[in-house]
Structure 1
Amino acid sequence: MQNPPSQPTGSVTPSKVIHMRNVGPEISQNDLLQTCQPFGMVSQLILLRSKNQALLQFQELTSAIQMMQYHQNQQVNIRGRNIYMQFSSHQELTTTQQPSDGQTPTSRILLVTIQNPLYPITVDVLSQVFSPFETDPRGTVEKIVIFTKQAGLQALVQYSNPMAAAHAKGALDGKNIYANCCTLQIQFSNLTELTVRENSEKSRDFTNPTLPVSRAPPPMYGQLAPTQQMMGQPGQFPYGADKSCLIVSGLAERMDCDRLFNLFSNYGNITRIKLLHNKSGVSLVQMGDNMQANMAMSYLKSLRLFDSPIDINYSRYSTISPPGVNSDGRTKDYTNSPLNRFTRQDSKNFRHISPPTAVLHVSNLAPTTAIEAVNAHLGQHAPVVASRMFTETQGQRKQALVQFATVEQAAEVICLLHNSPLEGQNIRLAFSKNSI
């Protein structure tokens, strides 16, 4: 049982800084921002992971007061966890109040990770995104550098002062550059000054136009520009060939190769999956290409499955060897599996890629199957909250939307029951963007 707050809201002087407790590891920075930003602009956010706590500072005192008053009678609950809040004894966050992960709240340089970058990300693109936060007195964007690391595509954005950086971070963290892709994850950098040696599509010093200009072609992360390209269409990607293999940890005992396939195949074709012998709960998943691997990692990282949050990173291995005679089912090859969803470049599945949701799309149903049968079949694992049957306009094929109480339950149903038989048909399950 979770303990109530140690002191009531009004027992300390109101402050722009809110102290949050019971912030579990499954709760992200973006989760907290989405809870707080409706009340006003957030200038700083520090996650204290070792203590399951957070410190969040609003730009205006009135914003902090409004949020505390609103939640006096309405418990904050994020990802199933009650969050307890109170005014901090600090009126401002200072450089001595730094989180253990090395973020520096007063830095003027932002470290930006771009997840699921389906379209070209250049200096000009990032300049358009981050420049609206440079108006006086907040400062200007001085330098931008784009690079790739183990975490994926990243950039450093330097402002002329920390206030502009804090404003941009609070407004843009968790937002998409383009619809449903190119998601920004932003933290403060430890650096004090960026070094730019040339002005190009990947680096720019806006304060020094005399630097050498590179004429190298811009990086291509998708085949066409956003106005020309269907959302989600695969193309080239800046990572090397070794970035198509992922290492997945935190898996429950009941997860096997096929169940991992059922989940990860929502975001790309699967080549092979291997359950590691010497590491319990750890598996390698090789995707069809590096764009699909990045998409799977972006959407599934920290997802809870069977009461265990999974973690996903790029593997140091570039490929998984084909299963041998004595693989005991711990390595499986899915290269030619008819269940891979993206074997055709024009597949409509690209248009329907969705992050994990509590609503599942059910297809490949028999013409005579009723919604009651669908509910009973999927309800074997978790109770169905709502559902509806519909018919596809073209082809007149019956389909259904089925909603569960949580995203975790829906993901588990996909793992367990995707491609399972129902009234003579093997049904197909996928996360749905639609509501019931």
Structure 2
Amino acid sequence: MDSLQSSSNIIATNPITFQNQKIYFSYSKSQHLHSSKKGSGAQTPTSPSNILLCSILTPIFPISTSTLYTIMSPYGRVLRIVIFQKKGLQAFVEFESPYSAWVAKEALNGQDIYTGSCTLQIDYARVATLNVKQNDDKTYDYTSEHPGFSLPSYSPFPQPGAPGVHPAQLDPTYAKPAGPYMMMGQQAATTMGIPPYGMYSAAPGAMGIEPPSQTVIMVHRLADSVTSDQLFNLFCLYGNVIKIKMLQGAKSGAMVQMGDGIQADTAIHCLNGASIFGQRLSVFHSKHPAISESDKTKDFTDSPLNRFTKGGLGSYKNIYKPSATLYFINVPTSFTEKDLTHLFINTGTHAPNTIKFFPPSGPKLMGLIEFSDVKWATEALMILYHITKQQQQQQQQQQQSPGV
């Protein structure tokens, strides 16, 4: 108590300031300091850690380990990334040092990866280590040797301003003259020469990621019976379809040209591996920049069924991978569940298990149709999307997420 009283007297007569701010001291009601349990391996979300938990809000565009590495690596050496689905789309990003993680968190938290979507919500993770068993678009270990991939070389004892040394790797206690450690993360990043990603309003790619530019997609393993119109019905759910060219022979399949690279990437992400008409699709980028005109090419540029023509992000809100549930609209009020079931059967598709009409709110009906298999729902959508029947009435269907 004597030493406390002496300290209080000294502070009262000689105030302590830090960065032009006066620091105040007072007695606490706590009688003891309690440390956290040892050996638990867990940290509170607010404790500095070298592992960040990133929640991606409104993830209407595909997010891969490559995407996150591009965003995070300017703030320090990234060791591992693990993407998973728990409370929505989330990811662990492990940095080499807690300081790099802190700068990245302060600079990127709340920013959009793509303008208006894929918003980052960042906190410190409660895990101590990340285990990565394979390198792909969901998990990646950047500390091991990989063909064709090289990590930047960092000196174990970096010197401020040394060529080739990333500023975020500097130990904040070592580089005291620079003083960025005591600044807010965005200010520290700017001071150290790191671009303040996410602060600019631009087209998709505002965080420094170049928007995908490849618009032509290859679709292999198509059934011979599939037509260009049916393929359009499937791909137009993920973007504007410009052209489709049906291929024949040994490479039976098709080429699909989308409106832009993001739409092409979205279609690949959602449709690669989908099963339709007894075949498992292989969907990937083509080396061709565009589809040339030929007797096998059909132009859909001016099709009224392209629903991404207005721009903005509203059209992207209902993008889902194929599921067993379809959403339908614009059905005549005279239609019953039996009429819809017969419509599916008469067009050669499978009968649905369940049909649910929403309460009428206008001259047309809408609702949900559930099939027992995802591939049957996909086939029905390809055949019946925008079908015209009974005085040009339309039944439009689009994929909905599982469980709806």
Q: Name the structure 2 match of 1:400.
A: 367
SS at match of 2:223: coil
> Is 2:156 the counterpart of 1:191?
no
Tell me how far apart the structure 1 counterparts of residues 299 and 383 of structure 2 sit (CA, whole Å).
19
| Shift in Å, 1:215 | 4.9
Q: Name the structure 2 match of 1:382.
A: 350
Q: Name the structure 2 match of 1:373.
A: 339
| Shift in Å, 1:318 | 1.1
Structure 1: stretches of 5+ with no match in the other structure = 1-113, 145-162, 175-183, 225-233
Q: Name the structure 2 match of 1:281.
A: 252
Tell me how far apart the structure 2 counterparts of residues 216 and 430 of structure 1 sit (CA, whole Å).
40
105, 123, 126: which is aligned to 2:72?
Answer: 123
299, 304, 308: which is aligned to 1:342?
Answer: 308
Residues 223 and 143 (structure 1 numbering): CA distance in 2 closer, same or farther, change over 3 Å?
same
SS at match of 2:331: coil
Tell me how far apart the structure 1 counterparts of residues 74 and 357 of structure 2 sit (CA, whole Å).
42
> Is 2:271 the counterpart of 1:271?
no
Tell me how far apart the structure 2 counterparts of residues 196 and 214 of structure 1 sit (CA, whole Å).
18
> Is 2:260 the counterpart of 1:260?
no
Query: Computing the radius of gyration over CA atoms, which structure comes out larger, 1 or 2?
Result: 2
Deviation string for 1:272-327 (max 9, x for gaps)?
A: 01112454322111111111111111011111111211111111111112x34xx0
310, 313, 316: which is aligned to 2:287?
Answer: 316
Paired residues, number: 273
| Shift in Å, 1:239 | 4.8
Residues 364 and 346 (structure 1 numbering): CA distance in 2 closer, same or farther, change over 3 Å?
farther
Equivalent pair of 1:242/1:316 in contact (CA under 8 Å)? no
> Is 2:399 the counterpart of 1:431?
yes
RMSD of aligned C-alpha atoms? 4.4
Which range is displaced more, 423-432 or 353-362?
Answer: 423-432
| Shift in Å, 1:372 | 1.9
Equivalent pair of 1:259/1:416 in contact (CA under 8 Å)? yes
Letter of the structure 1 residue corresponding to residue 365 of structure 2: K
| Shift in Å, 1:427 | 1.6
Equivalent pair of 2:324/2:402 in contact (CA under 8 Å)? no
Deviation string for 1:119-171 (max 9, x for gaps)?
A: 99621799797696769xxx868999xxxxxxxxxxxxxxxxxx93416x79x
> Is 2:132 the counterpart of 1:164?
no
**Matches for 1:18-417 after TM superposition, within 5 Å:** 116-117=62-63, 122-123=71-72, 164-166=129-131, 185-188=138-141, 191=145, 194-195=151-152, 207-208=169-170, 214-216=193-195, 218=197, 223=202, 238-239=209-210, 242-321=213-292, 323-324=293-294, 327=295, 330-345=296-311, 348-379=314-345, 380-391=348-359, 395=362, 397-417=364-384
Tell me how far apart the structure 1 counterparts of residues 201 and 381 of structure 2 sit (CA, whole Å).
29
| Shift in Å, 1:249 | 0.8
| Shift in Å, 1:397 | 3.5
Deviation string for 1:26-76 (max 9, x for gaps)?
A: xxxxxxxxxxxxxxxxxxxxxxxxxxxxxxxxxxxxxxxxxxxxxxxxxxx
Tell me how far apart the structure 1 counterparts of residues 322 and 201 of structure 2 sit (CA, whole Å).
23
Tell me how far apart the structure 2 counterparts of residues 387 and 240 of structure 1 sit (CA, whole Å).
40
Equivalent pair of 1:196/1:204 in contact (CA under 8 Å)? no
SS at match of 2:333: coil
Residues 423 and 187 (structure 1 numbering): CA distance in 2 closer, same or farther, change over 3 Å?
farther
Tell me how far apart the structure 2 counterparts of residues 332 and 396 of structure 1 sit (CA, whole Å).
34
SS at match of 1:427: strand
